[in-house]
Amino acid sequence: MNSPDGSSHALIERFLSEGEPILEHYGYTAVVVCNFAEGLGIPLPGQTTLVAGALLADRGDFHIVIITTLALLAVVAGGAAGYWIGRSGGRQLLDRLPIRPERLTRVEKFFVRKGIVLVVAARFLDGFRQVVPLVCGSMNMPWWRFFAAHLTGSVLWVLVWGVAVYVFGHHINALLPILHRLGTHGWWLAGVGLLALLIWLLGRNRA
């Protein structure tokens, strides 16, 4: 049985082994394409390229500001595109499926009222982050609600998987087991903590 430290080290090695060849071949373009495509429901390695890019930036092979900025822009744009694809054709497709209209109506009301939490949380769950924008559009979730939640989740996600991996560098193996034990809440707390730290540093520099 692997120790938590060993499993986290294996996780980092997996990100590097899978992401490094893609980044070496396609460079920053891979970060943009993979993260944009995920918003359209295409399962490309967006998270892998972001983490690998942050690790390679720590080695000096890439620039962390460029990596994280491109990843954030691609994630936001991809999710927005996925939402509008779902909005324009997803509901018509759902109406053709053997699903009772009243059930679809209940799901639609859920997305209108409580979809914000789902959108933010889905950013940290593989599989969900690829399809949630399409589903939100199909369920007619109000655009401004979706975009606010999508932007929040995207910023937190890039902070955790991009900035944190780069900042903590060699200490990431010690931090990952703690976050894994905390589950999804751990990633949320890490993202919120990093966002608060970033705001504090920006405010301090302006003072």
* pLDDT one-digit tens code per residue, 129-148: 888 888 888 888 889 999 99
More confident residue, 67 or 120: 67
> Distances from the Cα of 166 to the Cαs of 45, 67, 75, 119, 158, in angstroms?
18, 11, 19, 25, 11
Average pLDDT over residues 44-71: 92
pLDDT surpasses 70 at 11: no
Domain count, the chain: 1
**Could you tell me the residue range of the domain that residue 54 belongs to?**
4-206
Predicted pLDDT at 2: 42
Q: Which two three-digit tokens encode residue 78?
A: 């991809």
Residue located via tokens 């962390």: 64
Give the C-alpha separation, 100 to 95, whole Å: 9
Predicted pLDDT at 17: 76
Residue located via tokens 């200490």: 171
pLDDT surpasses 90 at 16: no
3-state secondary structure of 50: helix
Give the C-alpha separation, 158 to 36, whole Å: 13
Pick from 79-83, 111-115, 124-128: least confident: 111-115
Predicted pLDDT at 99: 53
Give the C-alpha separation, 29 to 25, whole Å: 10
Model confidence pLDDT, tens digit, residues 105-124: 666 676 667 778 888 888 88
Give the C-alpha separation, 49 to 158, whole Å: 12
54: Cα within 13 Å, side-chain hemisphere: 25
Give the C-alpha separation, 82 to 20, whole Å: 27
Q: What pTM was computed for the model?
A: 0.73
Predicted pLDDT at 70: 96
pLDDT band at 6 (very low <50, low <70, confident <90, very high): very low
> Distances from the Cα of 93 to the Cαs of 34, 84, 97, 140, 149, in angstroms?
26, 14, 7, 13, 25
Average pLDDT over residues 159-164: 87
Give the C-alpha separation, 50 to 96, whole Å: 38
Max mean pLDDT range (84-93, 96-105, 173-182): 84-93
Amino acid at 57: A
Amino acid at 69: T
